A and B are shown apart, each in its own frame.
Chain A
Amino acid sequence: MASPGGQGGGGALSTRGGGGARRMKWALELSLGNTRSRGDRQGGQGDVVYPIGYSEKPVPDTSIQETDKNLVEKRCWDVALGPLKQIPMNLFIMYMSGNTISIFPIMMVCMMAWRPIQALMSMSATFKLLESSSQQWLQGLVYLVGNLLGSALAIYKCQSMGLLPTHSSDWLAFIDPPQRMEIMGGGMVL
């Protein structure tokens, strides 16, 4: 859409340059504001007055090339399958970090748990990303499943590290002492 303008600009530059060189050998310009030798930007003072906002530089061509729709689809699938692809990596990290409770395994577990949760929270943004795809819903589902699997993995890791309160011993501190039903006292005969 910008290509015709660009070509026109290029034309104007060449005509003006050519014309100027042809007309005089040298020129002394005494007018104010043209103290710089390179008067290209302030070309308004010359013969040719450019309109405001006109740029001499060529605007780069940022338009998406007309490619096949497959590329979009592929990209969208990349996004959707991202979490799933991380799982083997996570499994490896899990295996490597072991079940001892120390700062590094804890950090890893936190990362593992936090990332899927973060992704699930920003689900809507991801959906927007996938909008252009025809298989948007399927991709969304796969993305969701991947993240859920990731968090499940994190929970499993927590479980194997013993961080989940699943045993009765984890609730021991909350048991109140039982109330006494009988009052008893006495002792040796004084």
Chain B
Amino acid sequence: MAKLILLWLKCVVLWAIVEAVFEDQVGKFDWRQQYVGKVRFSHFDTHVQSSKKVLVATERNVFAALNTRTGELFWRHVDKTGSEGNIDALLQHGQDAVLVVGNGRLLRSWEINVGGLNWEVVLDSGSFQSACLVGQQDMVKHVAVLKKTAISVHYLSNGHQKWIENLPETETVDYQAVYSDGNGEVYVLGVVPHSHIAIVVYSMEDGEIIKQMSVEAPWLYNIQASCVVVGQGMLTCVDSAGVSFYMLDLHLQLQMTQVPLQSLALEVDPGFHPVLLSHQPNPARQPLSEFFLQLGPDHYQLLQLNNGQIAAMRDFKPALLVSFATTGEKTVAAVMSPKNKTACSVNLFSAETGRRLLDTTLIVNMDPNGGKPEKLYVQAFLKKDDSVGYRAMVQTEDHTLTFIQQPGRVMWTREEALSDVVTMEMVDLPLTGTQAELEGEFGKKAAIQDGLMSMVMKRLSSQLILLQAWIGHLWKLFYDARKPRSQVKNDVTIENLSRDEFNLQKMMVMVTASGKLFGIDSKTGGILWRHYLHNVPPNAAFKLMVQRTTAHFPHPPQCTLLIKDKDTGLGTLHVFNPIFGKKSHVTPPALPQPILQSLMLPLMDQDYAKVLLLVDDQYKVSAFPSTKNVLQQLQEMAASIFFYLVDSSQGRLSGYRLRTDLSTEQIWEVIIPPEVQKIVSVKGKRPNEHVHSQGRVMGDRSVLYKYLNPNLLAVVTESTDLHQERSFIGILLIDGVTGRIIHEAIQRKARGPVHVVHSENWVVYEYWSTKSRRNEFSVIELYEGMELYNSTVFSSLDRPHAPQVLQQSYIFPSSISTMEATLTEKGITSRHLLIGLPSGGILSLPKMFLDPRRPEIVSEQSREENLIPYAPELLIRTEWFINYNQTVSRVRGIYTAPSGLESTCLVVAYGLDIYQTRVYPSKQFDVLKDDYDYMLISSVLFALFFATMISKRLAEVKLLNRAWR
């Protein structure tokens, strides 16, 4: 029997869809973009003059090297998410880059040419404060790491600890900075807030304390924010009130000398905390004696320390950003100042003299749809004539990195905001101009207005236009065919965007956490438009809705983004055209009340825009657009409009009904006690989902009808008690209109995170079983039975019979990051589950394997139904990975959209990377294969045609001859 089952399984597996791409299809339908996230530290690789690398360590815990010529990644290392992989410091020396990771947990050294790990050491526990490279006699051989209670020095070559010393008086002193200038001593600077500075000097050789001293400084509370070391070990601080400088010679340590800013004729902008910026080109030598003082948001001053005297060198106002850069022995200061509204200019100044260097102006054109510049990184190099040339990398507040060469040529741009996509939609592209013209001409309105004759004329003229367009297309084809293939570029720009034959190319509208919106062409991955929304709070919640599609020419398509500030609860609406990214001229309503939820109705106003209902905290509803027509429709429909709200903090699910005066009435409420379990997620069905088959055919050819309740919600709860014996997860199927609980299941000894997919008549969820220590999938299917209660209309209010519930569970060999189901135009194609794995793979698992009707004992009937015999393990077959070797790091979400072809579903996986591809859950039954032999078929056809012609002729001749005989 077992053998039989095995054989049967083999057959099924062989028969089951093989989906892997062929080698020559790689990159044909799919693309991947890799990102690093918002840059926190950046260093240019300067140890070789011709180096093309810039090292970046980002807030998304990524350490990477970018190619400065193209902006592509040389290599990238993705660490753990959260604080465990947080990059605290990046130090670079020669070919080595030293990273402190995870709040001082690990010290790592990377080889920057190939991105290999040199060594890694685990540091003693303790909160990380600061790190620096320590040099001696012009040689940098050590790295010092300062923690809250200890300082340790490690060899740069192998990471071994040279010495570790506990810091004195750690109960009172807050040690914050470590400094070394190559004289064999390490200075640790600590502060007792509003009292004094504590300075401990260690010997580099054995870690012995050479000196220990405290200096009165009642105005100081944070060394890193207000102090720098300048020149020959002169600790220079500026007090927060911005009144004066305080200087202390670290080598002599006598007393702080106070220099009032007024004596230098400097004045800090009111309310601004002045900031100092110094530069130490080589850790084995002393820092520069020149430094910047920021006096206001756009005001900088270059100062020089000379024999203990501070002298003002040059005043920069307005100046947005300043930066030092060193090449060889020369150090320059780059200053970015605004030029006009759309451009900034960067100039180089000699650090020693403060004089402007000739021919060093660089124009930075600011994207009007971007943010303000935030950081400036300068790569300086010596030209052949010994003058200094430079390139600049500008980071703006929308997380964009722009690399600019003199005199203003943008070499590359990286949109790092895309590493944090929050939500997205795919919008159909508009028809071409001619097609749209046709649509417009033969619309219903036109037909009524015009008579027969003019319609005929219109038809003729439009046909002429079409012919013209076709000839133009042919001419272009012919023209392109003569060029070598590499030169032919099908650049998609916003002007020539048009829908393709099968609607496979769409516009991906992506909303990122930074508040930047992108329009990306799904075929090539090119960014077609970008729009930065200023003033988006950092913890905003976004909801993107398509109000009008491209199907209603000449009305432009319209998307609405609801942005809600989680702190104040207030929401704003951003209405835009998803194809061009332009803000719509439709003015969204002002939302004075905090918004709880929004819901999109299938009603349309006279301009074909779907109606958006916004529910405020008084449970009142406002409509957008709110024309008279809409309000009238709403009044008529009010009795059949329901909505539900889930408040997970109070564990409350409640359903509301709309009254004709747009107030609401609560009709049901379910309380899930938040002390015991909390609501994790609520999943309804996707509004654009179609189900073709209303039932399933049984082995005896009767029908088991599906319970297709469009108002069904799947509510997932997790227990607050996380003890592995007592933790549980719950799933609740509830009707959103009536509040009736259709089904309830509790999985004991299970823990989240729970990933859930709800579609058609099934719910699939995945959880961690603490009892068996494994990941498990569970599937619930709902059936109405052998009879349909009402086959024409579905009303939740009239459903006397409870559905039959079937459930089965399986073991899955991997944890998962996210899960989504495929979606096709008509819902005829079988469904697959797309599972994002932490390993970076995206698995396409046929829903067939997650079917609660899978029998334990194979019978004639189940074989007739093509049911696979139940096996507890779900296998991961390597050909099910739709992204072959294109690893997608940290998948956060998968978006699926139907295409014009029933067989094809468009898939976008986003996270740190973005990956777009197509999947064919039932293979490409409606398209000829990619390798279809057109030549063979057409040549055979032609050959047959000619053979028939010739044989016909021959037969005629023969007949004639016979007649003559």
Contacts and interface: CB of A to CB of B under 8 A. Distances in A.
A17 B243 CA distance: 162
B803 interface: no
Contact of A178 (B599, B648, B690, B708): B708
A48 interface: no
Kindly state the interface size class of chain B when it binds its partner.
35 or more
A169 B698 CA distance: 8
B313 interface: no
B637 A183 contact: yes
B702 to A, nearest CB: 6
A22 interface: no
A181 B793 contact: yes
B236 to A, nearest CB: 48
A175 B597 contact: no
Nearest to B697: A169
A168 to B, nearest CB: 5
A183 B736 CA distance: 10
A60 to B, nearest CB: 30
Contact of B690 (A172, A177, A179): A177
A162 interface: yes
Interface in A136-177: 162, 167-170, 172-173, 175-177
Contact of B793 (A179, A185, A188): A179
Given A190-B541, A190-B543, A190-B596, A183 B640 contact: yes
B795 interface: yes
Contacts of B635: none
A185 B794 contact: no
Contacts of B695: 169, 172, 175
Given A181-B795, A190-B596, A175 B640 contact: no
A187 B684 contact: yes
Nearest to B685: A184
A102 B702 CA distance: 23
Contacts of B613: 185
B22 to A, nearest CB: 32
A184 B736 contact: yes
A184 B645 contact: no
A7 B501 CA distance: 88
Given A189-B647, A190-B562, A183 B597 contact: no
Given A175-B791, A181-B793, A186 B597 contact: yes
Contacts of A170: 701
Interface in B637-682: 637, 640-648, 679, 681-682
A23 interface: no
A189 B788 CA distance: 35
B602 interface: yes
A68 interface: no
A149 B641 CA distance: 60
Interface string B863-896: 0000000000000000000000000000000000
Given A179-B792, A179-B794, A182-B640, A188 B648 contact: yes
A69 interface: no
B693 A186 contact: no
Kindly state the interface size class of chain A when it binds its partner.
20 to 34
B626 to A, nearest CB: 17
A184 B667 CA distance: 13
Interface in B500-534: none
A12 to B, nearest CB: 37
A99 B599 CA distance: 54
Given A184-B737, A185-B600, A187-B684, A178 B703 contact: no
A168 B737 contact: no
B694 interface: yes
B642 A178 contact: no
Contact of B701 (A162, A176, A179, A188): A162
Given A178-B792, A178-B793, A188-B648, A183 B694 contact: no
A38 interface: no
A183 B648 contact: no
A180 interface: yes
Contacts of B737: 182, 184
A186 B736 contact: yes
A179 B790 CA distance: 10
B796 interface: yes
B710 interface: yes
Contact of A189 (B645, B684, B702, B703): B645
Nearest to B738: A182
B595 interface: yes
A173 B693 contact: yes
A170 B681 CA distance: 39
Contacts, number: 115
A172 B646 contact: no
A162 B864 CA distance: 13
A129 B711 CA distance: 70
B408 to A, nearest CB: 43
A93 B615 CA distance: 72
Contacts of B595: 190
A44 to B, nearest CB: 30
A184 B736 CA distance: 7
B591 to A, nearest CB: 12
Nearest to A181: B795
Nearest to B652: A189
A128 B595 CA distance: 89
A177 B691 contact: yes
Contacts of B795: 181-182
B456 interface: no
Contacts of A179: 792-794
A137 B695 CA distance: 52
Contacts of A177: 690-691, 694, 708
B797 interface: yes
A178 B705 CA distance: 12
A183 B642 contact: yes
A183 B601 contact: yes
A187 B637 contact: no
Interface string B685-715: 0000011111101100111000010110000
Contacts of A180: 710, 793-794
Nearest to B639: A182
A52 to B, nearest CB: 29
B564 interface: yes
Nearest to B796: A182
B599 A185 contact: yes
A175 to B, nearest CB: 5
Contacts of B694: 172, 175, 177
Most chain B C-beta atoms within 10 Å of own C-beta, residue among A173, A176, A179, A184: A184
Contacts of A167: 701-703
B456 to A, nearest CB: 37
Contacts of B642: 182-184
A181 B798 CA distance: 10
A167 B786 CA distance: 12
A186 B644 contact: yes
A181 B640 contact: yes
B645 A172 contact: no
A64 B697 CA distance: 65
A85 B716 CA distance: 70
Nearest to A183: B641
A186 B792 contact: no
A184 to B, nearest CB: 5
A190 B423 CA distance: 14
Contacts of B600: 185
A178 B790 CA distance: 8
25 contacts: A167-B702, A168-B702, A175-B694, A175-B788, A176-B792, A178-B790, A178-B793, A179-B794, A180-B793, A181-B796, A182-B640, A182-B737, A183-B602, A183-B637, A184-B684, A184-B736, A185-B599, A185-B601, A186-B597, A186-B643, A187-B597, A188-B682, A190-B562, A190-B595, A190-B596
Interface of A: 162, 167-170, 172-173, 175-190
**Pairs of residues from A and B, 3 with the lowest C-beta to C-beta distance, nearest first:** A185-B599, A181-B795, A186-B643
Given A186-B597, A186-B643, A186-B644, 5 more contacts: A169-B697, A180-B793, A188-B648, A189-B597, A190-B566
